[in-house]
Chains A and B, each alone.
Chain A
Amino acid sequence: MRTEPGGCCCRRPLRANDCVANGEVRNGYVRSSAATAAAAAGQIHHVTQNGGLYKRPFNEGFEETPMLVAVLTYVGYGVLTLFGYLRDFLRHWRIEKCHHATEREEQKDFVSLYQDFENFYTRNLYMRIRDNWNRPICSVPGARVDIMERQSHDYNWSFKYTGNVIKDVINMGSYNYLGFARNTGPCQEAAAKVLEEYGVGVCSPRQEIGNLDKHEELEKLVASFLGVEAAMTYGMGFATNSMNIPALVSKGCLILSDELNHASLVLGARLSGATIRVFKHNNMQSLEKLLKDAIVYGQPRTRRPWKKILILVEGIYSMEGSIVRLPEVIALKKKYKAYLYLDEAHSIGALGPTGRGVVDYFGLDPEDVDIMMGTFTKSFGASGGYIGGKKELIDYLRTHSHSAVYATSLSPPVVEQIITSMKCIMGQDGTTLGKECIQQLAENVRYFRRRLKNMGFIIYGNEDSPVVPLMLYMPAKIGAFGREMLKRNIGVVVVGFPATPIIESRARFCLSAAHTKEMLDTALKEIDEVGDLLHLKYSRHRSVPLLDRPFDETTYEETED
């Protein structure tokens, strides 16, 4: 149910504040040769120290941005900004027509609802390429999807639907990792049956009278799927984070959060009232330093020891395609007695030999993760989220989760979809279909990533991650790539600032078990062509492991006031 920003203009709250610093850090390694040497030393150190924690090779790389590309990207934004000001000037003097909606006459003397600057980016940059987002579809979001054709006669300010449908677009955008987004088959049949029996709504929260037998059944199944003592489910993945973290930590507690954590985790952390400190993305040195300092120095000003420390990480980061260094996180968490909250929104089902997510992928014990969170939106083709863990944890959440008290519970047919698809993954339906899907996805991922790399694109992330970001860098190429791909009947997701650092605009492919080799080959062929057309093959095949990207020691902290 949760995901990353819908389009290039959505805010990623935490990062919105420090994204400039972030951009600098990321570019940092372009300018520093000394840092590279230090990083090399760090790498050796790192391998000797933590290499033993991994049972499988962990190949994750981030090729650095070529200097020329970085400069040109900044120039691109500079030109766009200048033009933006020019056009704002023309609009102000009514030389250019204003398309956006305006305030009511009666309320013109109210304090303006928006700050003008707030909308500058939307008006002048996003609006130019708005057609790449919110493309309406009119079919199952499966391997192929039908997209409604739309046109704009006023430079994207409004869209008209032509009534035509672009048929059978290869879908590289939906999070349909295991291919359970289907309108036929056992899941649909089971959901239909429950729908006819129960209806769609529940009309009450869990604690009142919205706790159906179906919910209890689902929770038992989720617990056994995850290998934990108990589990609880919620109606929305986003809300699972934002409405449960406040139940777990409060003022006087410390949250250590990865800098690229999803907006829902950030919101939950903020609502909790705990102090938040942010560590560099997937960087264990940064995390360890924060942990050590937190315990040694205690709370700022009062110097009291922290009540508890909660580490927030995601399994797969949906914009970077990276996989959390879980073995190291767990080792650190144990050493420093912190608690671990693992958000498996993208990794559950999509990773691991049995589809149990990132814990399964690394061959770890689910008991080592205190809070296992995930969503049903992606791999299970449904909606909602869950939290799994020890029985005491779940009992506490049953009584204290905001969601259980105030929000309507999951819709019964959605519950049934989750139950059926989960049983399929577990092999409880008597077939090997689930296992085949998991294998197919893993194969697709390796194949697709390898081919793209060989073509010379800069691809981020882990070689096993079904989220594949392809770097575009320049703002003009965001729109061009999205449009060119759709012209070739391939639906892709493109993202730019503020969902990514300002110069690291990218396209993102989400692989699915439902993609056949032919589809992938077609897609690859077209990507290759568009890549040549737009000069996207930046790679010089020098990948830098994430850990060795230099990071500055400054960390960003916020407390609820």
Chain B
Amino acid sequence: MATVAEQWVLVEMVQALYEAPAYHLILEGILILWIIRLLFSKTYKLQERSDLTVKEKEELIEEWQPEPLVPPVSKDHPALNYNIVSGPPSHNIVVNGKECINFASFNFLGLLDNPRLKAAALASLKKYGVGTCGPRGFYGTFDVHLDLEDRLAKFMKTEEAIIYSYGFATIASAIPAYSKRGDIVFVDKAACFAIQKGLQASRSDIKLFNHNDMDDLERLLKEQEIEDQKNPRKARVTRRFIVVEGLYMNTGTICPLPELVKLKYKYKARIFLEESLSFGVLGEHGRGVTEHFGIDIDDIDLISANMENSLASIGGFCCGRSFVIDHQRLSGQGYCFSASLPPLLAAAAIEALNIMEENPGIFAVLKEKCKRIHKALQGISGLKVVGESISPAFHLQLEESTGCRERDVKLLQEIVTQCMDRGIALTQARYLEKEEKYLPPPSIRVVVTVEQTEEELEKAATTISKVAQTVLL
């Protein structure tokens, strides 16, 4: 039935076509052509092509207003007005005109005003002048540099050492010399700013693990292992590094090196160790965290430290096996592209190493003092001690934050200022708040040195505790 009806409709349609007037057919034909044209024509444009005329461009250029080069800084920015130290920043220090005992400079071994260091530096000054007037490659290598590298390598019992002219640039240059785009770096969340910058410069993939949390690190390493199995070809060329600090600047804690070494061999990741605070502090002979744990130094691929703390000079060094270290002589940016360390600073560092080697007892003394003040500072209401008891640089944080960082900083600054009035020079640990990956809570950093006597340590502890009482309660 249905087919018959359809046929009928079709016939009718053809008939209607015959019967239709000519004008109608012409109109319909035009309409069909029009539709076809629309179908095949290019997509329509919202506007004409967007080429700007010269005049329009000029107007745009005229209109554009850049942001100011720098935003204004408020007059009472906490970091704008620096403390002014008159005279040497040694054990007895004059800060803002007030005589204080120094609990702020990283002069752990008290070598800053050591007459032997000064004499060595002076002799060097008289021989070489001050500057080197060139990078290491171009007549900027002095015999003193070679001596210092030799001495550092011997002291650390490694094959080779390389020196940089700036502490910060050491690890920041070393990391990107090895780790490139596509490589993977596992790094502790509490890592210091220099490490963060080195990682940024390397453009590697960064995996952060919780501070000193080996389970978290292992979790990440395992995840990576699974990832690697999926793409073994890529895994064959992806280098893996673990970057940790020996003694953390931001927390005053020691890294669990034995576990790290185990993980290193299990997951085949190389360890880079930043020892700026632990070099010349930890271990029986001050060789740092490897000696502290009794770890074979060859198990660590690269150790970097600065010479600006214990050695009381300027600059930094990396040490390890020649296979690793030598590469920096052509790839360490801060090494190749920067003028070398002034020889007088290198000479001072050599003398500091001499002193460290001649007085190995000094490290035990330092440890003793750390423990003493650490203990004395426990139980101050409102303040908590953060950091290992053998760490010569540790933090005092507010037990309870006021909830506003700015206010916390002000409170702590008040404590610092009042302590300074009473002859104890302290400083807050300073951070670039917007730049830090994991901004540590505000804190006062207390630095212990071997020059501080028992009475002075006692005095510092009581002063801090008293001041804290008045400020916080």
Contacts and interface: CB of A to CB of B under 8 A. Distances in A.
A307 B194 CA distance: 28
B106 A204 contact: yes
A271 B83 contact: no
Contacts of B155: none
A3 B89 CA distance: 31
Interface stretch (A37-45, A58-66, A173-181, A518-526): A173-181
Contact of A263 (B159, B333, B430): B333
A181 B67 CA distance: 42
A209 B425 contact: yes
Interface in B259-277: 265, 268-270
B435 A2 contact: no
Contacts of A243: 168, 197
A408 B322 CA distance: 28
Interface stretch (A373-381, A438-446, A452-460): A373-381
Interface residues of A, number: 132
A147 B117 CA distance: 26
Interface string B268-310: 1110000000000000000000000000001000000010110
A137 B139 contact: yes
Interface in A399-435: 399-400, 402-408, 411-414, 417
Given A140-B128, A414-B130, A6 B137 contact: yes
A307 B336 contact: no
Contacts of A417: 130-131
A407 B139 CA distance: 26
A243 B172 CA distance: 11
B105 A413 contact: no
Given A174-B139, A408-B308, A236 B85 contact: no
Candidate in B114, B118, B335 with the most chain A CB atoms within 10 angstroms: B118
A201 B429 CA distance: 19
Interface string B185-211: 000000011100100110100000000
B60 A295 contact: yes
B82 interface: yes
A264 interface: yes
Contacts, number: 402
Interface stretch (A223-231, A275-283, A336-344, A540-548): A336-344
A10 to B, nearest CB: 4
A307 B339 contact: no
A183 interface: yes
A141 B201 contact: no
B387 interface: no
Nearest to A207: B430
Interface string B120-137: 011001111111111111
A201 B69 contact: no
A109 B65 CA distance: 57
B5 interface: no
The listed residue with most B CB atoms (<10 A of its CB), out of A201, A209, A212, A308, is: A201
B377 to A, nearest CB: 19
Identify which of A104, A187, A406, A493 gathers the most chain B CB atoms within 10 Å of its CB.
A406
B143 A136 contact: yes
A2 B314 CA distance: 16
A392 B71 CA distance: 8
Contacts of A69: none
B166 interface: yes
Given A109-B268, A195-B122, A262-B337, A201 B86 contact: no
A554 interface: no
Contacts of A538: none
A405 B88 CA distance: 20
Nearest to B112: A199
Nearest to B200: A271
B324 interface: yes
Interface in A129-175: 133-142, 145, 147-148, 171, 173-175
A6 B64 contact: no
A407 B89 contact: no
Given A199-B118, A413-B121, A402 B134 contact: no
A393 to B, nearest CB: 5
B135 A4 contact: yes
Nearest to B73: A395
Contacts of A235: 166, 314
A412 to B, nearest CB: 8
Contacts of B14: none
Given A139-B127, A204-B104, A210-B105, A392 B133 contact: no
A248 B60 CA distance: 25
B66 A337 contact: yes
Contacts of A239: 166, 168-169, 334, 338
A383 interface: yes
A137 B82 contact: no
B298 to A, nearest CB: 7
A402 B203 CA distance: 19
Contacts of B143: 136-138, 148
A209 B104 contact: yes
B131 A199 contact: no
A200 B104 contact: no
A206 B308 CA distance: 13
B321 A104 contact: yes
Contacts of A145: 139
Interface stretch (B26-34, B237-245, B361-369): B237-245
Contact of A205 (B52, B314, B430): B430
A367 interface: no
B285 to A, nearest CB: 21
Interface in B67-83: 67-73, 77, 79-80, 82-83
Contacts of B23: none
A102 interface: yes
Contacts of B127: 139-140, 183
Given A395-B73, A397-B70, A398-B82, 4 more contacts: A6-B330, A11-B333, A306-B66, A406-B432
Interface of B: 52, 57, 60-61, 64-73, 77, 79-80, 82-90, 93, 95, 102, 104-107, 111-114, 117-118, 121-122, 125-143, 145-146, 159, 165-169, 178, 192-194, 197, 200-201, 203, 235-240, 265, 268-270, 298, 306, 308-309, 311-314, 321-324, 326-327, 329-331, 333-339, 341-342, 344-345, 348, 425, 427-432, 435, 445
For the complex of A and B, the 4 pairs showing the least CB-CB separation, nearest first, are A6-B137, A236-B166, A396-B70, A211-B82
5 contacts: A113-B327, A134-B141, A199-B118, A199-B312, A407-B168
